[in-house]
Structure 1
Amino acid sequence: MELITNSNVIKQISELEKDVTFKSDLIIEESQRMIKFLQNHLHSLKLKVLEQGFCSDQQEIEFYKHIKPYLLGKLIFYNKVYRIESQAPINMLSVQQRYYNKKLDQLIAENKNYINHSDFYIYYKSKKTHNDHIYFKTGNIDLLSGVNSIVFEIDPNFSTHYDFKIAKILSCEQLSGYLNHRLSQINKSIQANQHSSNSQSITWTESQSSLVELIYALYTSNSLNHGNVDIKTIADLLQNMFNVNLSDVHHSFHRMKTRTKSRTMYLDKLATDLQEYMNDSYK
């Protein structure tokens, strides 16, 4: 069979994956496109292998240890993403958060029961090669040794069973990253909504002139950015923070300067209220 390299296969898939955004409103369509491409590519390789065979044992081992598992792992991954997203709730973020957390817990359990703690998993992850001639050449599956039932569903002429195990390892690793990414997106949205909700619940209940006093006090005391900020910026910040609209900050300030009594009534009140609170706290 003509040489098929793992780097060429990775390059072909990577080129197509450049268009995969993993955006929640596009991922179902993107997964379908990747599934179709990977299925067709895997089918073409199968026909080539069955028709031409391999030129050497090393070529066969390379194919079943690296090339086919990479393709099959991607196919399993996108198929699982498609199924997960097709069934995902579209209502409250908290419901979505529970859904993806459950999927992640299921994946961790599957990974623990099926993959981790097995001799083959240790062999593969430690990059050993001394049993490659057993694991990655067809015709070595012992159906009486208690292998997983999935072996009865695979084509023994196009699988060593262990190529499927590697594909499962690769798909689990990629799916774990995907689910954590989705949870991160949801958590950020929840935090943003909470921040927005908290901001909207705080309103200014004193007079507008009182807020103007506070604005100018912060400005003249250089309390923000070491004084490197102008009146308008401070005014806009506090108006947004407290959900209030000041009609004219500058004119309000000039009117404050002509008051017959204290020109800083609100700031005086703040000082008095704070001192009284301090006194009460000692009782």
Structure 2
Amino acid sequence: MKQTVLNNFQEELIRINNSSLNTTERANRSIISCRKTLGALKKEVLLKGFKSTQQEIIFFKHTKSVPLKELIYYLKLRSFELQLPRSGKELQCKIIKRKLNKLNRFFLRNIDFGQYMESECTHLDEYYYTRPQHQEDHYPFSKLYYEDFRFSTPKGLLLAEFKAYSAFMLYLENRLFCIKNPLQEQEINTKLTKKLVWPFGYAAFVELISVLSAAELHTKNNLSIIDLARKFQEIIDIQNTGFYNTRNENANRTKGLTPFLDSVILAYIKELDKKNKFE
């Protein structure tokens, strides 16, 4: 049920971002979708709970963080676009640079948590992404005046902020580029808003990247395997849910190491057979 809610949300977000609406209106509709999705997930959690601690960690680390990250991102984006002066290139650039500096300070303040994320560590996950038994005692300095402790964890918001601010920083950098190079704005906006839908799951994505890495695609482009994955994520709409852990799980499969690629090859062979029958 939770995964169905999340899949529907991601599909709706893609439709909104690929629509002909202006940036602010797309942000407004995305915010509504994010809040609706978070509400549905909260209802599901409060009604059914979790069968294990690991299930709870997976939800708050990988499921809830998806709509929460998008909510923070689009709230920031909308606020920025509404406040940005309509004219005055120098003033616009100054405001964007100020916001970029503010984001950099955020990442510096939380550098330890950022390294924990980037390294895909898990030893603190039980504390970071589960709800404490005595919940009121664990949130003394929340940024929110009101927070539902039944649907929050100590680092859940910070995790979403990291992801949202990384995306928002990229948006600001491209916005700055477009202001300085107005003739290329349409091309940049197209690249930013349109991503390919990936309906095959994260394990299949990791399998594809691993095979391309084995063929030395990453070394020929002077990239690490995780950087290669990130390059593909620039055009494919898929959330990172632990690349190295998933890669290890794929390598330890007992029934075939490459089920996704095997199915792709089989589908391709069938397509060729159909084509040959008509020739």
- Shorter-chain TM range is 0.5 to 0.7
Q: Do the aligned residues in 1 keep the contact of 2:72 with 2:161 (CA within 8 Å)? A: yes
* Identity of matched residues, %: 28
**1:230 maps to which residue?**
none
Matches within 5 A, 1:28-67: 28-67=24-63
Please say if 1:16 is aligned against 2:13: yes
Q: CA deviation at 1:57?
A: 1.8
Distance 1:126 1:29 in 2: 36
**1:76 maps to which residue?**
72
Please say if 1:183 is aligned against 2:176: yes
Distance 2:182 2:19 in 1: 16
Distance 2:15 2:173 in 1: 20
Distance 2:19 2:120 in 1: 31
1:205-254, Cα deviation, whole Å (9 max, x unpaired): xxxxxxxxxxxxxxxxxxxxxxxxxxxxxxxxxxxxxxxxxxxxxxxxxx
Moved more, 169-178 or 144-153: 144-153
Q: Output the amino acid matched with 2:17.
A: V
Distance 1:122 1:169 in 2: 11
> RMSD value over aligned CA atoms?
2.9
**1:122 maps to which residue?**
115
Matches within 5 A, 1:1-283: 2=1, 4-5=2-3, 9=6, 12-20=9-17, 26-113=22-109, 115-116=110-111, 118=112, 120-139=113-132, 148-150=141-143, 153-189=146-182
**1:255 maps to which residue?**
none
Distance 2:38 2:26 in 1: 18
Q: Do the aligned residues in 1 keep the contact of 2:16 with 2:30 (CA within 8 Å)? A: no
Distance 2:159 2:64 in 1: 9
Q: Do the aligned residues in 2 keep the contact of 1:141 with 1:161 (CA within 8 Å)? A: no
Q: CA deviation at 1:147?
A: 5.4
Moved more, 11-20 or 34-43: 11-20
Structure 2 CA distance for partners of 1:22 and 1:161, relative to 1, 3 Å: farther
Structure 2 CA distance for partners of 1:103 and 1:12, relative to 1, 3 Å: same
Moved more, 144-153 or 155-164: 144-153
Q: Output the amino acid matched with 2:24.
A: I
After the TM superposition, which segments of 4 or more aligned residues of structure 1 sit over 4 Å from their partners?
A: 140-147
1:154 alignment partner, SS class: coil
Gaps of 5+ in 1: 193-283
Gaps of 5+ in 2: 186-279
Distance 1:191 1:54 in 2: 49
1:18-38, Cα deviation, whole Å (9 max, x unpaired): 442699x81111100000010
Q: Output the amino acid matched with 2:46.
A: L
Q: Do the aligned residues in 1 keep the contact of 2:9 with 2:33 (CA within 8 Å)? A: no
1:234-279, Cα deviation, whole Å (9 max, x unpaired): xxxxxxxxxxxxxxxxxxxxxxxxxxxxxxxxxxxxxxxxxxxxxx
The structure with more radius of gyration: 1
TM-score after normalising by structure 1: 0.58
Give the aligned length.
Answer: 185
Q: CA deviation at 1:59?
A: 1.4
Q: Output the amino acid matched with 1:87.
A: Q
1:88-144, Cα deviation, whole Å (9 max, x unpaired): 10012222122212221222122222x22x2x3322221111222222111167866
Q: Do the aligned residues in 2 keep the contact of 1:134 with 1:140 (CA within 8 Å)? A: no
Distance 2:181 2:153 in 1: 43
Structure 2 CA distance for partners of 1:110 and 1:79, relative to 1, 3 Å: same
Q: Output the amino acid matched with 2:82.
A: S
Q: CA deviation at 1:8?
A: 7.0
2:149 alignment partner, SS class: coil
**2:255 maps to which residue?**
none
